[in-house]
A and B are shown apart, each in its own frame.
Chain A
Amino acid sequence: MIEVKQLHKKYGELHVLKGIDLSVKKGEVVCVIGASGSGKSTLLYCINGLETIQKGEVLIDGISVHDKNTDLNKLRQNVGMVFQQWNSFPHLTALENVALSPRVVKKMSKIEAQEIAKKQLIHVGLEDKLNVYPSALSGGQQQRLAIARALAMEPSYMLFDEVTSALDPELVGEVLDTLRLLAKDGMTMICVTHEMSFARDVADRVAYFHEGLMEEIGPPEQIFGDNPKSEKTKKFLANVK
């Protein structure tokens, strides 16, 4: 379970998150929507400790992420993350990209790590690209590679940061399909996204962020239905439709 309690994040004077409360249960898919700069991506970076926080706390399975005594490297093995810019490692083949962290972080043998990597690459439909370098892959393929790489650590939670925003329109579908598959498998996911129809389909709950606050959270029917509780949600959705 991921619990975010009264989370505040500032970059200098800029108050990006102004007290966020959110809890995500095992197996749940939460999609976070909102305008750029509303703090949704920052929330993800705070959840796995890539960013420090100023106030509040984040608990993952009861372990406080921002506690000085927490072993973040160990904690992150359980929380996968996929980024807007897919960040494949350009000096490694697809297979090596995925096999690296099981091998060096989990200390698996090379063969064992490659088996897992192969399995994950097949899972995301890249079975014919094992020995290819990322430069020879399309954006959508690189993003699926990034998903496979995160899954190879066998995390309980996955964080997706606008994973389709940097893709050409025709490549968005293949990545969203991969996410749908993952959701169906019961993965616990927090997806920051601009893809409203995806959020409507996949999410158990949708959260709308506005200027550093979570304006509204509820099932997709509530948010995308005729009468979201908040006027701001209504206005935002009217603009993006």
Chain B
Amino acid sequence: MDYQFLWPPVIKALPKLLDAALLTMQVSVISMIFGLSIGLLLSFGRRSKYFIPRTLSSIWVEIARNTPVLFQIFFCYWGLGEFGIFLSSFVAVVTALSFNTAGYMAETFRGGFNAIPDTQLNAARSLGMSFFQTQRYIIVPQVLRVIYYPMTNQFIWVILMSSLGMLAGLRELTGETQYFNSRTFRTFEFFAATAVIYYIIAKLVMLGARLLGWRLFRGQS
């Protein structure tokens, strides 16, 4: 092999790459918060006794889960332009990732809700709690506990998916890497370094989630 590795350009660009990693995290955290909240609403919607919320929620979940994320991003970035809605790269990527995550989280929530026995609901209602109070204080906290680790996985998945944001012109970690690659042609070095950054982020998120989980659920079975 006669390829000469040349790392100084990468090292020089590292501060920029880390800035871009911060943008990646911003996109991911915001998308996850929206995805989680909307996913919870969708999971209620799908179990609603009313036709309209049930149908709309199902359509959302079906599309989000059965079409490529890249198409969802393109649709938000370019597709909506056809309707006169012009989103910035950032907003388009966040919208698409939130849409996608909400679909997946709705399914995860469904499993979580199924894991909580109906008797918990009866016990809470018998104490005079309203439907909303029962969900808020009894059911949802237990569901969040059940789906905590699947949720962590989903978050890491969102971080990795956000790399597609590059294709909608977002200079997040991958976009920034591609920018430096095109300037220096040090393709292997840059993408290897970025892969390591992604890996470290994913591991840190996992570790943080474990520590937090340990703290949150200490003592409960």
Residues of A at the B interface (CB closer than 8 Å) are 45, 48, 50, 73-74, 76-77, 79-81, 83, 85, 87, 89-91, 93, 100-101, 104-105, 132-136, 146, 149-150, 153
Residues from chain A with a CB closer than 8 A to the CB of B130 are 73
- Indicate if the CB atoms of B133 and A90 lie closer than 8 Å: no
Chain B nearest CB from A17 CB (Å) reads: 18
Interface string of B118-159 (1 = CB under 8 A from A): 011011111111100100011001100100000000000000
- Indicate if the CB atoms of A105 and B127 lie closer than 8 Å: yes
- Indicate if the CB atoms of A76 and B125 lie closer than 8 Å: yes
Q: How far is the CA of A155 from the CA of B210 in the complex (A)?
A: 42
Q: How far is the CA of A26 from the CA of B165 in the complex (A)?
A: 69
Chain A nearest CB from B186 CB (Å) reads: 51
B114 contacts A by Cβ under 8 Å = no
Contact of A87 among B122, B129, B137 (CB under 8 A): B122
Q: A50-B126, A90-B221 are in contact. Are A105 and B141 (CB under 8 A)?
A: no
Q: How far is the CA of A105 from the CA of B134 in the complex (A)?
A: 10
Q: Can you sample 20 A-B contacts with CB below 8 Å?
A: A48-B126, A73-B129, A73-B130, A76-B127, A76-B128, A80-B126, A80-B127, A83-B122, A87-B122, A89-B142, A90-B221, A91-B141, A91-B142, A104-B133, A104-B137, A105-B127, A105-B128, A135-B221, A146-B123, A153-B128
Q: How far is the CA of A43 from the CA of B103 in the complex (A)?
A: 41
- Indicate if the CB atoms of B133 and A87 lie closer than 8 Å: no
Residue among A80, A104, A133 with most chain B CB within 10 A: A104
B220 contacts A by Cβ under 8 Å = yes
- Indicate if the CB atoms of B119 and A87 lie closer than 8 Å: yes
Q: How far is the CA of A31 from the CA of B126 in the complex (A)?
A: 20
- Indicate if the CB atoms of A81 and B126 lie closer than 8 Å: yes
Residues from chain B with a CB closer than 8 A to the CB of A87 are 119-120, 122-123
Chain A's closest residue to B217 (CB) is A91
Q: How far is the CA of A48 from the CA of B122 in the complex (A)?
A: 10
Contact of A133 among B122, B126, B219 (CB under 8 A): B219
- Indicate if the CB atoms of B133 and A105 lie closer than 8 Å: yes
Q: A83-B122, A89-B123 are in contact. Are A135 and B220 (CB under 8 A)?
A: yes
Q: How far is the CA of A45 from the CA of B141 in the complex (A)?
A: 26
